[in-house]
Structure 1
Amino acid sequence: MSESLKKSQFPVGAHFSIANGYKSAFSDAVLIGASAIQIFSKNPMSARFREVTEEESQEVKEFKAKNDIEYAVIHASYLLNFGRPLEENSFPIMSLAEDLYNAEMLHADGVILHSGKSLTMGIDEAEDNFVANIKTVLNKTAKLKAKVIIENTAGQGTEMGFVLGDLERVFKKLGKDKRVKFCFDTAHAYGAGYDLQNSKIAEKIVEEIDNTIGVKNIACIHLNDSKKELGSRVDRHEDIGHGTIGEAGLKSFVVSLMKKATTPIPLILETPQGFDTYEDQIKKVRGWLA
């Protein structure tokens, strides 16, 4: 961490519902003291499209200007599998392209996307499909600044992208495009076998991140405890300090990451109790950064 970069500068927030509109989600974040927000830009379990309107964009812009929201990001639909071969105008391609447009309209950093599944294909084939599909989306949205943010997985089923070295390989195949960044999910990493419970190993994991995809390419952290054991290959989140990783390991990881960072890295909760416990958890995490 550079001398001019203070730990208190790192935004902390959570995932918020858009059930009552985009502005309402931002308002909910401010209400509990969050300075970072993640949302879906549409129903994540529906194949319907939903573009942000100019009016909604302006509402969010004005609200952000008056309130302390330092970072916003969109999470892509759960229905997308970019490990499959996809046509240029297929739903997954068009849905991610729309989300990137919506991110731009909502003044968000980009769109978080899971790494995809190989299904019955070989890993190499599925990975090449993923790269080709991301390139297609980047080309279709070339005029936008919003980023494609690839998230590590727990390796559940045939999920790809649970090993840092694999994410590094994908990044290289994408030419380390400046619009491609990463989201590191702590619960996913723990499920994939990265021992964040152990404070000393957590520090080494930060080194591994820096030596593969690079800490400078981490757009944000999904800060989650886990319901499952180390290496379970199962994706189940838990509230901070109430899971199998524990508060000490997560704190060690976050503090080590901040020491490496040259720009603030937002920390976003996706924990199961949701809004009811977000405020207390955000205060807890901010205490680590004091």
Structure 2
Amino acid sequence: MTSKKSPVGGHIPVAGGMATKGLKYAAEIGAEAVQVFVSNPRGWAQAAGKPAEDAAMRESGVPTFVHAPYLVNFGSPTPETLERSVASVRHSLQRGAAIGALGVVVHTGSAVTQPFDDAMRQVREHVLPLLDELPNDAPDILLEPMAGQGAMLCATVDQLGPFFEHLENHPKLGVCLDTCHAFCAGHDLAAPDGVQKTLDLLVETVGPGRLKLVHANDSKDPCGSFKDRHENIGAGQIGEKPFAELFRHPEVAGVPFIIETPGRSADPHRKDVETLKRLRDNA
């Protein structure tokens, strides 16, 4: 087993209070780490924080991450989307700092209808200034590769290379690896050496220590399907064993695992957290 245990947790609700309701839910599912939205994940509106809730989150000691809205796309050919993406990620970073978050997860985005090189120039132009604004104690920006659908800029872990090159291997830049995305993009995590190969390639591409978060999700669809449909741990095409292998890889030592699995109540999420803890503790 890796020398440092990875905390296991989940995405928590913020309606009714990020700390008041959210941390209560975290306790119900046995979460040791949490992820939150600080604004509408499917819109551009920027919600203000509540000082008491922010302070409670900071003081909780629970490793916390923010997920930026899904609409963010620095590869978009639409100027309005670019402008709103910058504002949205900056807001997520500011709110993340207020609650003591360790990182802000940002999808790597899509070129939509424009050439890849043009989209990547936009990534540099708009993301590098955001990184340069960050003080050392601010949350990192964590790039999350996608499942490969459409004109996605990054799906397989080696495709993170151009991002790190364009962003000058910035010290505040990290990676969030989603297991469902990676699997559906073509990394066969269920193969005997699939996890080892994937994580070794990640380290080879971006260097050691860049993996800051794992989105632990099984997949409803097969490897290479380019679909993004999450399943509960062990109930999908990946299965339990690869998650145990993830915990054994040295690059994952101490890296938090966050589930984003199906379920409208605490019960399935509690089960997924318990499964991951068991796999971690027996790895």
1:139, distance to aligned residue in structure 2 (A): 3.8
Give how far 1:146 is off.
1.3
Q: 1:273 aligns with which of 257, 263, 278?
A: 263
The answer to whether the 8 A contact 2:146-2:152 is kept is yes
Pair 1:60-2:57 in alignment? yes
- Residue 90 of structure 1: CA displacement? 2.2
Is 2:12 the partner of 1:22?
no
Distance 2:237 2:142 in 1: 27
1:276 is displaced (CA, Å) by: 2.7
Give the counterpart letter for 1:19 in structure 2: A
CA–CA separation in structure 2 for the residues paired with 1:102 and 1:88: 21
Matches within 5 A, 1:4-19: 5-6=3-4, 9-19=5-15
Q: Could you tell me how far apart the structure 2 residues matched to 1:176 and 1:53 are?
A: 34
Structure 1 residues 288 and 169, CA gap change in structure 2 (3 angstroms): same
Q: Distance in 2 between matches of 1:89 and 1:173?
A: 17
Secondary structure at the counterpart of residue 124 of structure 1: helix
Q: Which residue of 2 aligns with 1:77?
A: 69
Identity of aligned residues (%): 29
1:177 alignment partner, one of 146, 170, 176: 170
Distance 2:82 2:181 in 1: 31
Counterpart in the other structure of 2:274: 283
Match of 1:255 among 247, 252, 276: 247
> Displacement of 1:227 after TM fit?
0.7
State the TM-score, normalized to the length of structure 1. 0.89
Moved over 6 A (4+): none
Indicate the residue corresponding to 1:42 in structure 2: 39
Structure-2 separation of matches of 1:27 and 1:221 = 22
The Cα RMSD (Å) is 2.1
Partner of 2:28: 31
- Does the C-alpha gap of structure 1 residues 186 and 89 become closer, same or farther in structure 2, counting only changes over 3 Å? closer
Point out where structure 1 has 5 or more consecutive residues left out of the alignment: none
The answer to whether the 8 A contact 1:116-1:130 is kept is: no
- In the aligned structure 1, how far is the partner of 2:156 from the partner of 2:82? 30
TM alignment of 1:141-290, pairs within 5 A:
141=134, 145-252=138-245, 254-257=246-249, 259-261=250-252, 263-273=253-263, 275-290=266-281
Q: CA deviation at 1:278?
A: 1.2
Deviation at 1:53, TM superposition (A): 3.4
Equivalent pairs, count: 278
Q: 1:122 aligned to 2:112? A: no
Unaligned runs of 5+ in 2: none
Q: TM-score, normalised by structure 2?
A: 0.91
Distance, in Å, in 2 between the alignment partners of 1:110 and 1:43 is: 18
Contact 1:148 1:181 in 2 (8 A): yes
C-alpha distance after superposition, 1:94-148 (max 9, x if no partner): 1110100000011111210000111111111112212222113224555861111
